[in-house]
A and B are shown apart, each in its own frame.
Chain A
Amino acid sequence: GAGVSQSPSNKVTEKGKDVELRCDPISGHTALYWYRQSLGQGLEFLIYFQGNSAPDKSGLPSDRFSAERTGGSVSTLTIQRTQQEDSAVYLCASSLEGVLGGVRNTEAFFGQGTRLTVV
């Protein structure tokens, strides 16, 4: 596609339910990132996929959060047993990683996010 696509754009769920958020990166982009942003706050890093390397999961806030990336393309972020504090905008980004002269090109392209509300 022309850009990073996230679905759904909005999700309202009941506390305790599981949710799945989807991200379709730009075709050919090897790197994919998930971030969480609460109202008026910065972006909280969640997870980073790069090619065939093991993902960097260091930002996942608890074991209720997991993410996978199938076939090096589409990614799904799953939140189990949702809590009210999980309410936020979840942003996905992808980049065409390359290293030239030891310098990484990591310009990230963002989707419009999924606004998750846990009631």
Chain B
Amino acid sequence: SQQGEEDPQALSIQEGENATMNCSYKTSINNLQWYRQNSGRGLVHLILIRSNEREKHSGRLRVTLDTSKKSSSLLITASRAADTASYFCATASNTGKLIFGQGTTLQVKP
């Protein structure tokens, strides 16, 4: 079963601009994570935010979490062409089960 829904499905921006992706979910979570996927193969973990946290930063990444609205956002600042990829949010339940959203495809034009 899928839990996360992400929007937009696709995003195209110019290099140097910021990119914002949103994720909504339905059930209670232990934590929420964001992953990146290049070329339709393995995913790479970017950042994890716990259910008792509201904001977290890692380099050019900023993640927010609003548990009352069951939503999260990922902001990539000063985007680069190399950021072009698909980005997925994943919710972790208290049993550790990870459920992924449908993803946002980001294209950063040089």
Contacts and interface: CB of A to CB of B under 8 A. Distances in A.
A115 to B, nearest CB: 9
Contacts of A97: 96
Contact of A37 (B1, B40, B51, B92): B40
What does DSSP make chain A's interface, helix, strand, loop or mixed? Answer: strand
Contact of A43 (B52, B97, B100): B100
A56 B94 CA distance: 13
A44 B99 CA distance: 8
B40 to A, nearest CB: 6
A110 B44 contact: yes
Contact of B41 (A45, A56, A59, A89): A89
A109 B41 CA distance: 12
Given A35-B100, A42-B103, A45-B99, 18 more contacts: A4-B42, A33-B98, A37-B40, A41-B102, A42-B100, A45-B97, A45-B100, A50-B95, A91-B42, A95-B98, A97-B96, A106-B31, A106-B96, A106-B98, A107-B45, A112-B41, A112-B42, A113-B41
Interface of B: 1-2, 4, 30-31, 33, 35, 40-45, 48, 50-52, 88, 90, 92, 94-103
20 contacts: A31-B96, A35-B100, A41-B102, A42-B100, A42-B103, A43-B43, A43-B100, A45-B97, A45-B99, A48-B96, A56-B95, A59-B1, A89-B41, A93-B98, A95-B98, A103-B30, A103-B31, A106-B30, A106-B33, A110-B44
